[in-house]
Structure 1
Amino acid sequence: MKNRISVSLLLLLPLFTISQTLKVSSNNSYLETADGKPFLWMGDTAWELFHKLNREDAAMYLENRSEKGFTVIQAVVLAEQDGLRKPNAYNEIPLFENDPTRPNEKYFEHVDFIVNEAEKLGLVVGMLPTWGDKVTPAHGGGPVVFNKKNAFVYGEFLGNRYKNKPVVWILGGDRDVANDKEKEVWRAMANGLKAGDGGNHLISYHPRGAQSSHEKLHHEAWLDFNMYQSGHSNKYSDVYRFGEMLLEVKPRKPFVEAEPAYEDIPVEFWKYLDWNNSPPVPENVLNKDLIITKKEYFEQGFFDDHDVRVFAYWNFLSGACGYTYGNNAVWQMFEKGGDMAIPCLTDWRDALNRPGAESMRFVRKIFEHRPFHLLIPNQTAVLGNNPRDSLHVRAALASDKSFMLVFASVGQKLNINLSEMENGVVAWWYNPRNGKATKIGKMKNESNYQFVPPTSGRGNDWLLVLDDPKAKLESLKK
Structure 2
Amino acid sequence: MIRLTISKDKKYFINGNKKFFYLADTCWSAFTNISFEEWEEYLSYRKMQGFNVLQINILPQWDASQSDINIMPFKINKDGTFDFYSINEEYFHRAEKMIEIAVKKGFLPALVLLWCNYVPDTWASKLRETSKMPLDVVETYVEHVAKTFSKFCPIYIISGDTDFPAELTKNYYMLALNTIKKLSPECLTTMHLQGRLTELPEEFVNNKNLDFYMFQSGHNSAYRHMPYEMALNFYNKSVKKPIINAEPCYEQMGFSRGIYGRFTTFDVRKAAWQSLLSGASAGITYGAHGIWSWHKKGKEFEKNIGEVFDKPYDWRDALRFDGAWDYSFAKWIFEMYDLFEIEPLDAILNNTREIRMAGNPDLSTIVIYIPSNTTVIVNMKLENYNFIIIDLEKKYIANPTIETSNNKTIIHMHNFTSDVLIIGTK
**TM exceeding 0.5:** yes
The amino acid across from 2:240 in the alignment is: R
Q: Is the 8 A contact 2:156 2:190 kept in 1?
A: yes
Matched, 1:93 2:76: no
Matched, 1:227 2:214: yes
Cα distance in 2 between the residues matched to 1:441 and 1:237: 28
Q: CA deviation at 1:158?
A: 1.1
Q: Is the 8 A contact 2:62 2:117 kept in 1?
A: no
Query: Do the aligned partners of residues 415 and 442 (structure 1) sit closer, same or farther apart at CA in structure 2, a change above 3 Å counting?
Result: closer
Tell me which residue corresponds to 1:291. Answer: none
Of 315, 318, 331, which aligns to 1:364? 331
Of 440, 461, 465, which aligns to 2:419? 461
The amino acid across from 1:253 in the alignment is: K
Query: Do the aligned partners of residues 437 and 188 (structure 1) sit closer, same or farther apart at CA in structure 2, a change above 3 Å counting?
Result: same
Query: Do the aligned partners of residues 187 and 125 (structure 1) sit closer, same or farther apart at CA in structure 2, a change above 3 Å counting?
Result: same
Matched, 1:160 2:141: no
Secondary structure in 1 aligned to 2:103?
A: helix
Tell me which residue corresponds to 2:158. Answer: 171
Tell me which residue corresponds to 2:267. Answer: 307
Q: CA deviation at 1:262?
A: 1.1
Of 66, 77, 96, which aligns to 1:112? 96
Q: Is the 8 A contact 1:410 1:456 kept in 2?
A: no
Q: Is the 8 A contact 2:108 2:154 kept in 1?
A: yes
For 1:35-68, what per-residue CA distance to the aligned partner results, in whole angstroms no more than 9, with x for missing partners?
Answer: 2422211121111111101111112112221112
Q: Is the 8 A contact 1:426 1:442 kept in 2?
A: no
Tell me which residue corresponds to 1:403. Answer: 365
Tell me which residue corresponds to 2:57. Answer: 76
Tell me which residue corresponds to 1:7. Answer: none
Cα distance in 2 between the residues matched to 1:41 and 1:359: 14
Q: CA deviation at 1:192?
A: 2.4
The amino acid across from 2:424 in the alignment is: L
Give matches, 1:377-456, under 5 Å.
Answer: 377-380=344-347, 382=348, 384-388=349-353, 392-419=354-381, 421=382, 424-440=384-400, 447-455=407-415
Q: CA deviation at 1:206?
A: 0.8
Q: Is the 8 A contact 1:51 1:87 kept in 2?
A: no
Q: Equivalent pairs: percent with the same residue?
A: 24
Higher Cα Rg, which structure: 1
Matched, 1:141 2:141: no
Secondary structure in 2 aligned to 1:449?
A: strand
Query: Do the aligned partners of residues 339 and 103 (structure 1) sit closer, same or farther apart at CA in structure 2, a change above 3 Å counting?
Result: same
Of 285, 290, 299, which aligns to 1:324? 285
Q: Is the 8 A contact 2:112 2:160 kept in 1?
A: yes
The amino acid across from 2:407 in the alignment is: S
Cα distance in 2 between the residues matched to 1:265 and 1:218: 31
Cα distance in 2 between the residues matched to 1:119 and 1:95: 25
Query: Do the aligned partners of residues 175 and 158 (structure 1) sit closer, same or farther apart at CA in structure 2, a change above 3 Å counting?
Result: same
Tell me which residue corresponds to 1:23. Answer: 5
Cα distance in 1 between the residues matched to 2:214 and 2:198: 6
Secondary structure in 2 aligned to 1:343?
A: coil
Q: CA deviation at 1:127?
A: 0.5
Query: Do the aligned partners of residues 327 and 29 (structure 1) sit closer, same or farther apart at CA in structure 2, a change above 3 Å counting?
Result: same
Cα distance in 2 between the residues matched to 1:62 and 1:434: 26
Tell me which residue corresponds to 1:244. Answer: 232
For 1:315-357, what per-residue CA distance to the aligned partner results, in whole angstroms no more than 9, with x for missing partners?
Answer: 1101111211111221111111111233235211101111212
Q: CA deviation at 1:263?
A: 1.0
Tell me which residue corresponds to 1:475. Answer: none
TM-score, normalised to structure 2, is 0.89
The amino acid across from 2:268 in the alignment is: V
Which residues of structure 1 form unaligned runs of 5+?
1-18, 273-297, 469-478
Q: CA deviation at 1:238?
A: 3.6
Cα distance in 2 between the residues matched to 1:399 and 1:87: 48
Secondary structure in 2 aligned to 1:115?
A: helix
Query: Do the aligned partners of residues 305 and 124 (structure 1) sit closer, same or farther apart at CA in structure 2, a change above 3 Å counting?
Result: same
Q: CA deviation at 1:412?
A: 2.4
Tell me which residue corresponds to 1:336. Answer: 297
Query: Do the aligned partners of residues 453 and 367 (structure 1) sit closer, same or farther apart at CA in structure 2, a change above 3 Å counting?
Result: farther
Q: Is the 8 A contact 1:232 1:260 kept in 2?
A: yes
Which residues of structure 2 form unaligned runs of 5+?
77-81, 303-308
Q: CA deviation at 1:205?
A: 0.8
For 1:150-196, what per-residue CA distance to the aligned partner results, in whole angstroms no more than 9, with x for missing partners?
Answer: 11111122112222214111122112122111111111112222233
Secondary structure in 2 aligned to 1:102?
A: strand
Q: CA RMSD in A?
A: 2.4
For 1:107-155, what per-residue CA distance to the aligned partner results, in whole angstroms no more than 9, with x for missing partners?
Answer: 1122112211221221111111232101135334363342333111111
Matched, 1:375 2:342: yes
